[in-house]
A = this chain, B = another copy of it.
Amino acid sequence: MSALRGQLPIMRLAELSKRADVPRSTIKFYIREGLLPAGESQGRNQALYGPKHLERLALIRALREVAGLSVDVVGRVTRELDRGWEGDPFGQAMLAIHAPPAPPKSAEDAAELETLREEVREFLRDLPWTVDDEERRFFSDEIASDLLLVRRYLFPGFPVANLARTAQIAWLLSEAGFELVPGGAPAPIAANNDDLAQPVRLAILGTVLFERIFAALHRSANAMRSIRVAQGLEVPGA
């Protein structure tokens, strides 16, 4: 819990509960589950809490209430945060945001999925912005599973290479997303020993909220495109 040490403890549980707007029993639960470090003990049944506890509770609330993450997933994120630069809190959160893909239904599906995984990894590795193809391997596994469903339920034989334009647009959107952050997206640096909590909060909430906003804009765009195509109206470029 290094990020929470070395601070002046200043309030008792009742005040922490009031200021964080989190019930005392919930705070105790978070401490038991390891989401929040214990306060500084002042003898039997007394402990003092500091501003870092407030910050951590705000993070937990945001991850639960806004991003809709479960206590288990939030626990994985905070445990990684507590490991500091050794940890991977953002990766854990990304891993947790979507449910793991369903296992293949048959031996044939399993074999095709294995081939698809290799192909998707190669596809991602060849993108001009990829730094490390071992990084975030779960993304490629998720894409491979969805592509198998595309082949089974929509377009038989759909090739991985057909995702080239989609990947390019994902890169454009990541550029636009980083530009939306006032003052620029924070990039904490290990050598400076920068605190990771704030960038992780920003990255997780930003990912979840702007993904939802983008999905709604995209569905609206699809609806308008369908109407234009069906009615023979002009379909403008972007």
- Tell me the A residues contacting B by CB distance below 8 Å: 62, 66, 90-91, 94, 97-98, 124, 127-132, 135-136, 139-140, 142-143, 146-147, 149-150, 153-155, 158, 162-163, 165-182, 185, 187-189, 202-203, 205-207, 209-231, 233, 235-238
Interface SS of chain A: helix
Are B171 and A238 neighbours in the complex by a CB distance under 8 Å? Answer: yes
Chain B contacts for A223, CB-based, 8 A: 90-91, 94, 135-136, 139
Q: Could you tell me if A209 and B163 are in contact, using CB atoms closer than 8 angstroms?
A: no
**Cβ-defined contact, A213 with B143, below 8 A:** yes
- What 12 new A-B contacts, CB under 8 Å, besides A155-B180, A175-B225? A98-B216, A129-B221, A131-B228, A139-B220, A150-B213, A153-B205, A166-B173, A166-B176, A169-B172, A170-B221, A171-B221, A187-B230
Give every chain B residue within 8 A of A173 (Cβ-Cβ). 166, 169, 218, 221
Contact A215 B225 (CB under 8 A): no
How far apart are A190's CB and chain B's nearest CB, in angstroms? 8
Contact status B171-A230, CB under 8 Å:
no
